[in-house]
Structure 1
Amino acid sequence: MNTNRSVPRRAALAATAAAVGLILTACGTDESTNTAGAAAGTSTTAPAPSEAAQHNKADVAFAQGMIPHHRQAVVMSDMAQSHGASDAVKALAERIKKAQQPEIDAMAGWLRAWGERVPAGMGGMDGMGHGEDDSALPGMMDDEDLNRIGSARGNAFDTMFLIRMIEHHEGAIDMAETEKRQGVHGPAKALADDIITSQTAEITQMREMLKKG
């Protein structure tokens, strides 16, 4: 009868429909995947600027102020080698110079890269004066103070050097703390951290040296 023949036919149609459904589902999945891939491949999102490339006015002020500040410390440290300083003061002065000269070079490099002014070198008699008026910087000495240290010898030089260098370091720490609060340039903020750490330790050492006479 027709009823008996229709059963296999219905089963065949059902199987065919199921197969077609699977094919359509697979095609839909492939299309979705390809579309997502194409979207990802054509993304035009610009990369964020690197941390090293970012800077603001506080970073510029920090570098332009700390360069002459460090230069004065280097000049004072050079004096220790020729003014009858004790071995302990000479060793401290040499360590200060070795630390601060590379920092001067780094900060000058940042300023050039930013298109900013690099402070002029120190001039004046015997190289102890200022290329610019930097006396307002925290802890900086004027020409008279530097000449007074330059005229001292032996124990008198040691005492004057330590007292003035403590004040000088305290000023540098103040400048570094301002950079940490206000700056955005990653390397400058890292340098500020280093200055605070190293110069705080040196202040402690110099105070102990003064106590021992």
Structure 2
Amino acid sequence: MSTPRTFTRRAALIAATATAALVLAACGGGSESGGHSGDDSASSSSNATTAAGAHNTQDVSFAQGMIQHHQQALEMAQLAAGRASSAEVKDLASRIEKAQGPEIQTMSGWLKSWGEDVPTSHGSMGSMPGMDHSSHSGMPGMMDAKDMDELRKMSGKDFDAMFLTMMIEHHKGAVEMATAEKNKGKYGAATSMADDIVTTQNAEITEMNKLLGKG
């Protein structure tokens, strides 16, 4: 199930960055993103009960795909509490959980109101229609089973470097998916959430690059 950009390339990047990486003191409190907008996106997306308005197939694809994408991000973030050595990495992981958990609930509500299937895990529905098939699951930025197994084996600074490198790629995939929704979606709450995702996750990509010593 590997892709042309599987863990081998990612591991080489980690090796290259690990030496100069994690100069975390330069990032102070690790909150460059200026506070996570995830809570705002959840509230601005409103209640699922209002989601039966006009929508199109792109909105459905976005919600189904992003739920699975977010679920994997949560799985990665939850590993940080017991494995990360950096307070900044733990803080970032906590913010990801607090933002993306409510977004999953909101998108699940939309799908239910539309009479569409709701994914129960990031691999449960396979490829989403309309998504760029650039990864094993049909969604950009998704990690494969080998990637996740490698992350689970790591701890301390090695975990920090791998987590940040993988999450940057994961965020880039989410931004790509959200940009497609902004351009092609019809349902207002979904395009609004997509805009929040682009803003928040691009800010976090910048933050993570700084934690890796790239910024």
Instruction: Confirm or deny a common fold (TM above 0.5).
Output: yes
Contact 2:52 2:110 in 1 (8 A): no
Deviation at 1:131, TM superposition (A): 3.1
1:162-196, CA deviations, whole angstroms, 9 ceiling, x for partnerless residues?
00000000000000010011110000000000000
Aligned with 2:189: secondary structure? Answer: helix
> Any gaps of 5 or more consecutive residues in structure 2?
1-49, 128-136
Q: Distance in 1 between matches of 2:51 and 2:64?
A: 20
Q: Which amino acid in the other structure matches residue 116 of structure 1?
A: E
Q: Distance in 2 between matches of 1:51 and 1:131?
A: 23
Contact 1:52 1:185 in 2 (8 A): no
Q: Distance in 2 between matches of 1:141 and 1:150?
A: 13
* Length, aligned pairs only: 157
Deviation at 1:82, TM superposition (A): 1.1
In 2 relative to 1, CA 180–157 (structure 1 residues): closer, same or farther, beyond 3 Å? same
1:86 is aligned to 86
Deviation at 1:52, TM superposition (A): 6.2
> Any gaps of 5 or more consecutive residues in structure 1?
1-49, 123-129
Decide which of 132, 138, 143 is 1:136's aligned counterpart.
Answer: 138
Aligned with 2:212: secondary structure? Answer: helix
Contact 2:60 2:111 in 1 (8 A): yes
The 5 Å alignment of 1:165-204 reads: 165-204=167-206
Task: Tell me the TM-score normalised to structure 2 length.
Answer: 0.70
Task: Tell me the TM-score normalised to structure 1 length.
Answer: 0.70
RMSD after superposition: 1.8
Q: Which amino acid in the other structure matches residue 81 of structure 1?
A: A
The 5 Å alignment of 1:4-153 reads: 53-122=53-122, 130-133=123-126, 135-153=137-155
Q: Distance in 1 between matches of 2:118 and 2:149?
A: 25
Aligned with 1:53: secondary structure? Answer: coil
Query: Which structure: greater helix fraction?
Result: 1
For the pair shown, the structure with the greater C-alpha radius of gyration is: 1
Bigger relative contact order, structure 1 or 2 (CA pairs below 8 A, ≥6 apart): 2
Q: Distance in 2 between matches of 1:145 and 1:175?
A: 21
Deviation at 1:51, TM superposition (A): 8.7
